[in-house]
Chains A and B, each alone.
Chain A
Amino acid sequence: MLSEKEFSELAFLARLDPADPGLKGLREDFNKILDAVKQIEELDLGDAGSKAEIGPAVSRPDVPRGELTPRDIAAIAPEWEAGHFVVPGVIQSE
């Protein structure tokens, strides 16, 4: 069961606003879900757990493919100017 303070910290980590009224209403639901998820603690994987092969990380060569043109990107950007995304101040608030 997460306290209100812990829930606020979690919301901050999730890049959500702890003060959002909609989010405050979710705390009770969240705690119920967390109780359900905690059932995994009962699951004893025994030796099998340590031997379980999770499988290799699947990845492909990181090669630029250039499927989207700057024009495609500009068309979907919320704000775009001179070939760049326009954003407000970046680091100051941190």
Chain B
Amino acid sequence: MNEILKNTASDHAKALAKGEYTATELTKASLAHAHERKSLEAFNSLDAALVEAQAKASDERRKKGQTLGPLDGIPIAIKDNICARGEKVTCSSKFLENFEAPYDAHVIERLRAAGAVLFGRTNLDEFAMGSSTENSALRLTRNPWDESRVPGGSSGGSASAVGANIVPLALGSDTGGSIRQPASFCGLYGLKPTYGTVSRYGLVAFASSLDQIGPFARSAEDTALLLNAIAGHDPRDSTSSPASQEIPTPFSGPLPDSEFKKMRIGYFLPQNQDGYSKEVLAACEKAAKYFESKGAKLVPIQSRYWDYSIPIYYILATAEASSNLSRFDGIRYGKRAKGEDLKEVYIRSRIEGCGPAVKRRILLGTFVLSAGYFDAYYGKAQKAKALIRQEYISFFKDVDFILQPTSPTTAFKIGEKARNPIAMYQSDVLTIAANLGGVPSMSVPAGLDSQGLPIGLQITGAHFSDQRLIRYAANFAEIPGFAMVDGVAPGKAPAASKAVVTQSPAKNDTPGKVAGDSRGSVKVPGKAPVQAKSKPAVVAKKGARKSESKKSPKKVVKKTSKVIKKATPVKKGKTAGSKKSTTKKATRKKK
């Protein structure tokens, strides 16, 4: 790997401005590294000629003194459910395998206007429905820290590409944690902005009331850099907020110590910790203790609704998905199956085009919207969603941020949860509430566990406090053992993950285009067939982090000042968060 790829986007911007290297050199280094790390299967498509042309144009602008801003010439990978005119937008589905977008998404327009180099289309769970990227119908993406593990999902390709230092930045989309959970699994910063901050125009809809596009980055500063480029009001998205115009502001560094002296940090650890990694919980306690030592007050948070966030989310998300996906019927675009009549075309196209995870969600969405169940499920979930939003508003009257783990565990093994959808859903248990409440939420790196896997912590702020949240995220790098060292993943390749490089270019492929067409293989036109060598990347200096993470932090809850609660009861016959409810939940889990 070329050493310049260790740089953050902000470093690149400065180096490009000083003429230390050109956008073309940077892009070529990224392309070469994408090839070195092809066993990750991060990209659904990567057209070298297209990427190099954008870099060349950037260099020419720079020569003329017409640079478009700090992102000019910076490679940014794009999740393959965001439309870019003339490029394939597959959503990692057989249904859209050959679909080319006829227009640019709002975020793509913004990135083109900023001079960014759009660097390939990254893999995802089909239609963004999943938590491991194993639901992709096109390929199996691997975690750059350990290739026998998942990168998280649904934006696993974007996380893998940034985590492996192929690109410094990527876009993902987050409906229930699809940016934050993979950011956590790959040791990155991942932000789900406030709902309405980034236009959804051109994002293939999964659950429109929850979907939000956001950045993956290797630093808080880079997160702000990309957010500034994509945030802002867009009348083509009816849920785009005029308040988003205020979001883009220059990053002004971590919050100063003086802020912590008056700060109150909401602190959430689950009462029932079955299924939680002790090391993840310890990292969260360590962070809480660190900020307490700087003068912040820790305030334990208890929600009346978070225990139910998974059922609420799956009712609303699948209801919206079943409606949104009804457009995929084989008539106007996408896959069309053969059929005797129109109805058979609809059904056969959906059967042949959609994978099992998508069909499960369409079925559940149809069920919860059906007569007789609508009020009991969808209507109730809508009310609960509104109450979760109100509860967040109430929380943020008393605290500045809420701190909690991003996911109960670090990255799990490929296949470990693939056959158990309920276990898979549980990996999003901590991220879903922020989507339901519409608040900004971010995963930040918090060192490594004893297996050398990244731990992520989640911080959440009030509506439209995105920039302050990013500044707070920057403070986590000050915690001993938390900062990423050059952000480089070790890249352990298991024997089972050998990729095959073949010479046969796929139809419509352009020279240099990486176009894997089946799970575990990559086709690179122009290369002779060879066994792929999973080249180990530069190993991060992680010894210090390991020793830090092994320390057992002291309990911090005792020192807290106040518990935030609301007066109204929620559960029939019991108080939220009571021992009784915990016991019942544990029993449910065992079942």
User: A residues near B, CB below 8 A?
Assistant: 2, 10-11, 13-17, 20, 22-23, 25-26, 29-30, 32-34, 36-49, 52-55, 58-60, 67-68, 72-73, 75-79, 85, 87-94
Give complex CA distance A29, B572 in Å. Answer: 28
Decide if B65 is an interface residue (CB 8 Å cutoff).
no
Decide if B425 is an interface residue (CB 8 Å cutoff).
yes
Smallest beta-carbon distance B69→chain A, Å: 26
Are A10 and B367 within 8 A (Cβ)?
A: yes
Are A16 and B364 within 8 A (Cβ)?
A: no
Smallest beta-carbon distance A89→chain B, Å: 5
8 Å CB contact of A13 from B370, B381, B382, B568? B370
User: B residues near A, CB below 8 A?
Assistant: 99-100, 102-103, 235, 238-239, 305, 308, 310-312, 314-315, 322, 326, 329-336, 339-348, 350-351, 356, 359-360, 362-368, 370, 376-377, 380-387, 390, 421-422, 425, 568-572, 588
Are A42 and B339 within 8 A (Cβ)?
A: no
Are A23 and B422 within 8 A (Cβ)?
A: no
18 A-B pairs with CB atoms under 8 Å apart are A11-B363, A14-B363, A16-B362, A26-B356, A26-B360, A33-B314, A36-B425, A37-B364, A43-B305, A43-B384, A45-B380, A45-B570, A49-B380, A60-B238, A67-B103, A72-B103, A76-B100, A87-B345
Are B359 and A26 within 8 A (Cβ)?
A: yes
| A-B residue pair count with CB separations less than 8 angstroms | 172
Are B103 and A88 within 8 A (Cβ)?
A: no
Are B351 and A16 within 8 A (Cβ)?
A: yes
Q: Given contacts A14-B363, A26-B359, A73-B102, is CB(A40)–CB(B386) below 8 Å?
A: no
Nearest neighbor of A44 in chain B, beta-carbon distance? B572
Nearest neighbor of B379 in chain A, beta-carbon distance? A54
A67 CB contacts on chain B under 8 angstroms: 103
Nearest neighbor of A11 in chain B, beta-carbon distance? B363
Are B422 and A33 within 8 A (Cβ)?
A: yes
Are B387 and A45 within 8 A (Cβ)?
A: yes
8 Å CB contact of A30 from B102, B336, B364? B364
Q: Given contacts A39-B308, A40-B381, A90-B341, is CB(A14)–CB(B570) below 8 Å?
A: no
Nearest neighbor of B354 in chain A, beta-carbon distance? A16
B102 CB contacts on chain A under 8 angstroms: 68, 72-73, 75-76
B239 CB contacts on chain A under 8 angstroms: 58
Counting chain B CB atoms within 10 Å of each CB, the highest count among A17, A40, A79, A90 belongs to A40
Are A23 and B359 within 8 A (Cβ)?
A: yes
Q: Given contacts A10-B367, A93-B344, is CB(A40)–CB(B377) below 8 Å?
A: yes
8 Å CB contact of A43 from B343, B356, B370, B570? B570
Are B347 and A17 within 8 A (Cβ)?
A: yes
Smallest beta-carbon distance A32→chain B, Å: 6
Are A43 and B380 within 8 A (Cβ)?
A: yes
B332 CB contacts on chain A under 8 angstroms: 73, 76-78, 85
Nearest neighbor of A20 in chain B, beta-carbon distance? B351
Smallest beta-carbon distance A23→chain B, Å: 6
Are B359 and A22 within 8 A (Cβ)?
A: yes
Q: Given contacts A36-B311, A44-B569, is CB(A55)–CB(B386) below 8 Å?
A: yes
Q: Given contacts A93-B340, A93-B342, is CB(A13)–CB(B364) below 8 Å?
A: no
B569 CB contacts on chain A under 8 angstroms: 44, 46
Are A30 and B387 within 8 A (Cβ)?
A: no
Are B386 and A53 within 8 A (Cβ)?
A: yes
Counting chain B CB atoms within 10 Å of each CB, the highest count among A25, A45, A54, A93 belongs to A45
Nearest neighbor of B239 in chain A, beta-carbon distance? A58
With A15-B326, A33-B364 given, name 9 new contacts (CB 8 A).
A2-B367, A14-B362, A26-B356, A29-B360, A36-B422, A40-B381, A42-B571, A49-B384, A53-B386
Are B330 and A78 within 8 A (Cβ)?
A: yes
Give complex CA distance A41, B384 in Å. Answer: 12
Give complex CA distance A14, B319 in Å. Answer: 11
B103 CB contacts on chain A under 8 angstroms: 67-68, 72
Nearest neighbor of B196 in chain A, beta-carbon distance? A58
Give complex CA distance A47, B343 in Å. Answer: 45
Smallest beta-carbon distance A39→chain B, Å: 5
Are A79 and B336 within 8 A (Cβ)?
A: yes
A43 CB contacts on chain B under 8 angstroms: 305, 308, 311-312, 380, 384, 570-571
B310 CB contacts on chain A under 8 angstroms: 36, 39
CB-CB nearest 8 A-B residue pairs: A78-B336, A72-B102, A14-B366, A52-B386, A52-B383, A93-B341, A40-B311, A76-B333
Are B326 and A48 within 8 A (Cβ)?
A: no
Give complex CA distance A30, B386 in Å. Answer: 27
A41 CB contacts on chain B under 8 angstroms: 376
8 Å CB contact of A37 from B315, B326, B343, B362? B315
